[in-house]
């Protein structure tokens, strides 16, 4: 962790830098390939909509008191899924009631009359009941359509509020456009993963999609806020807009990684429990949307949103002037490499005096022999030129003993 902390400090101060903005076409290409795979998955395989959206059949089985346990529900789920009926591959089996009104509820997608009789036979064999104990109900898709309608309305309202918030906070509509592109990027990838994985789309999936919008926006706003801070005074800054924005991404990189890891650990645990241990469960639907969306959100806020903002602002006059000043400054430094010596200021980092670390390196460690190392050459600023080695020792000048002229005050000048 010490090396990771030092890396974060170096990224924040600018000693080390990852060129996120300069390699924007590489990140665009990677995102394009992922989005293309997601779109192909949607067009070829499609989404497996749940019972709440397409309707289906519900079987309510009355069992003896105390027998409506989760173990029995798991056995019924496995038996119904093993029937080979396409509409019953992912049945929803839950327990209901207490006391003498215990029951097990089995929900499947729309089935034919013959398939329904086959499912009822499997349920009676597994639970030890009769057909008289099973109540069959058809579920219409009207509730699912209402959920989809309300979800679409909520999504549109959310996007409108996002645009207004970013425009009002940053006073920059181009940041709003970049944020919307990042959100669309995250949504398409998450839905594509659902299509490719074959997970069923349930109301919990819709909840997860709306949740990752907020997570992705939060991470993007944090990066944008640092970009605004670094580019506030471009005239006084030594960096161009792209360099200042790239520095902002590096400064928030460690924070984004740490936040994502902390958030992904419990989501991954929920995904494992819901998909592996509980089988078909609403937990896995919610956890998959959160897991994929969080990863995509961190990626888009770093690799998509900020480079897109820089690209959109490239034609602004202030940005172009800052770019020309930065180019001219680099040319001056290349012409005179030793002109980059920093001026002393009170907030400069404290470093060891030359020679102090050499004494420590040559000292014996734990009673062992002293390790003698070659003295490190003095490096010049710029491209790393090495100062030439002196050919002879410095000697005292013969004029050192002469009396040096002194400058008299103005009141005594011209007087003899």
Integer angstrom CA distances of residue 115 from 80, 86, 141: 11, 10, 20
Are both 160 and 304 inside the same structural domain? yes
- Domain endpoint, select from 260, 287, 322: 322
**Contact call for residues 92 and 106 (beta carbons, < 8 A):** yes
Number of separate domains in the chain:
2
Domain match, 130 and 251 both? no
Alpha-carbon dihedral of residues 276, 281, 284, 289, nearest 10 degrees?
Answer: 160
> Please, what are the averages of pLDDT over each run of 10 residues along the chain (416 residues)?
65 79 90 92 83 80 78 83 82 70 80 85 84 80 72 81 81 86 90 84 81 84 88 78 88 85 87 67 77 89 90 85 79 62 59 49 48 50 59 70 70 67
Q: What number of residues does the chain have?
A: 416
One domain for residues 221 and 309: yes
Where in 179-291 does DSSP place strands (E)? 200-201
Question: In terms of domains, do 177 and 306 share one?
Answer: yes
Tell me, what CATH number does 86's domain have?
3.30.70.3400
Residue 357 lies in a domain: no
Residue 281 confidence (pLDDT): 59
Which CATH number belongs to the domain containing residue 299 in this structure? 1.20.1640.10
Does 304 map to a domain? yes
- Candidates 29, 5, 9; CA nearest to 17 is 9
Domain that holds residue 68: 56-139
> Does 281 lie in the same domain as 259?
yes
Q: Do 94 and 151 belong to one domain?
A: no
Q: Which residues make beta-bridge pairs with 352?
A: none
**Does residue 342 form part of some domain?**
no
User: In angstroms, what is the C-alpha Rg of the chain?
Assistant: 34
134 shares a domain with 148: no
The one-character DSSP state at 340 is G
209 and 150, same structural domain? Answer: yes
- From residue 350, alpha-carbon distances to 10, 146, 164, 345, 353 in Å are 15, 64, 45, 11, 9
Strand partners, 135: 60
Task: Compute the Cα dihedral for 232, 237, 240, 244 and give only its sign.
Answer: negative
Q: Which residue has the tokens 């005594």?
A: 412
Give the pLDDT confidence score for residue 114 in this predicted structure: 85
Q: Are 235 and 214 in contact (CB under 8 A)?
A: no
Phi, psi of 101 (to 5 degrees): -110, 40
Nearest-10 crossing angle of helices 173-197, 24-44: 40
CA 32, 38, 42 angle in degrees (round to 5)? 140
| Strand residue runs (E) in 142-251 | 200-201
| Rounded Cα gap, residues 344 and 55, in angstroms | 74
The answer to whether position 1 is within a domain reads no
What local confidence, expressed as pLDDT, does residue 28 receive? 92
Amino acid 221: pLDDT: 87
Is this structure's pTM higher than 0.85?
Answer: no
**Is residue 28 located within the same domain as residue 71?**
no
Buried b (16+ CB within 10 A) or exposed e, 383-401: eeeeeeeeeeeeeeeeeee
Give the residue among 315, 297, 293 at the shortest CA–CA distance from 305: 297
How confident is the model at residue 4, as a pLDDT? Answer: 59
Bridge partners of 138, per DSSP, are: 57
- 43, 60: one domain: no
Paired tokens of 100: 């003498």
**Exposed/middle/buried for 156, CB within 10 Å: 0-12, 13-18, 19+?**
exposed
* Same domain as 282, residue 151: yes
* pLDDT confidence of residue 358: 46
Instruction: With beta carbons less than 8 A apart as the criterion, state whether 117 and 82 touch.
Output: no
Of 305, 322, 339, the position where a domain reaches its end is 322
């Amino acid at each position: 962790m010490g090396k990771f902390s030092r890396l974060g400090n170096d990224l924040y101060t600018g000693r080390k830098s990852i060129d996120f903005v300069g390699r924007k076409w590489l990140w665009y290409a990677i995102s394009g390939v992922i989005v293309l795979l997601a779109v192909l998955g949607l067009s070829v395989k499609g989404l497996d909509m749940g019972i709440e959206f397409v309707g289906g059949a519900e079987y309510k089985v009355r069992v003896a008191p105390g027998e409506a346990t989760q173990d029995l529900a798991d056995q019924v789920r496995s038996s119904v899924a093993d029937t080979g009926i396409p509409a019953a591959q992912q049945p929803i089996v839950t327990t209901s009631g207490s006391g003498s009104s215990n029951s097990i509820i089995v929900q499947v997608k729309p089935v034919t009359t013959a398939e329904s009789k086959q499912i009822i036979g499997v349920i009676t064999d597994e639970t030890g009941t009769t057909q008289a104990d099973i109540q069959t109900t058809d579920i219409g898709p009207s509730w699912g359509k209402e959920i989809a309608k309300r979800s679409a309305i909520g999504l549109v309202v959310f996007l409108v509020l996002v645009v207004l918030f970013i425009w009002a906070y940053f006073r920059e509509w181009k940041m709003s456009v970049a944020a919307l592109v990042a959100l669309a990027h995250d949504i398409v990838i998450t839905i594509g993963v659902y299509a490719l994985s074959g997970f069923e789309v349930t109301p919990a999936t819709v909840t997860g999609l709306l949740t990752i919008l907020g997570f992705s926006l939060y991470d993007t706003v944090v990066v944008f806020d640092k970009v605004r801070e670094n580019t506030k005074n471009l005239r006084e800054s030594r960096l161009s807009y792209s360099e200042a924005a790239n520095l902002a991404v590096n400064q928030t990189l460690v924070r984004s990684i740490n936040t994502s890891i902390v958030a992904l650990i419990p989501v991954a645990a929920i995904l494992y429990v819901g998909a592996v241990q509980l089988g078909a469960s609403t937990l896995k639907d919610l956890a998959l949307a959160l897991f994929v969306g969080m990863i995509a959100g961190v990626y888009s806020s770093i690799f998509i949103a900020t480079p897109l903002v820089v690209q959109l602002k490239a034609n602004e006059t202030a940005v172009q002037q800052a770019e020309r000043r930065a180019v001219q400054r680099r040319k001056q430094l290349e012409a005179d490499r030793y002109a980059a010596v920093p001026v002393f200021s009170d907030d400069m980092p404290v470093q060891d005096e030359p020679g102090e670390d050499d004494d420590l390196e040559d000292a014996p460690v734990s009673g062992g022999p002293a390790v003698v190392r070659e003295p490190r050459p003095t490096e010049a600023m710029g491209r790393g030129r090495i100062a030439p080695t002196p050919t002879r020792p410095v000697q005292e000048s013969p004029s050192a003993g002469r009396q040096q002229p002194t400058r008299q005050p103005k009141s005594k000048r011209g007087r003899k």
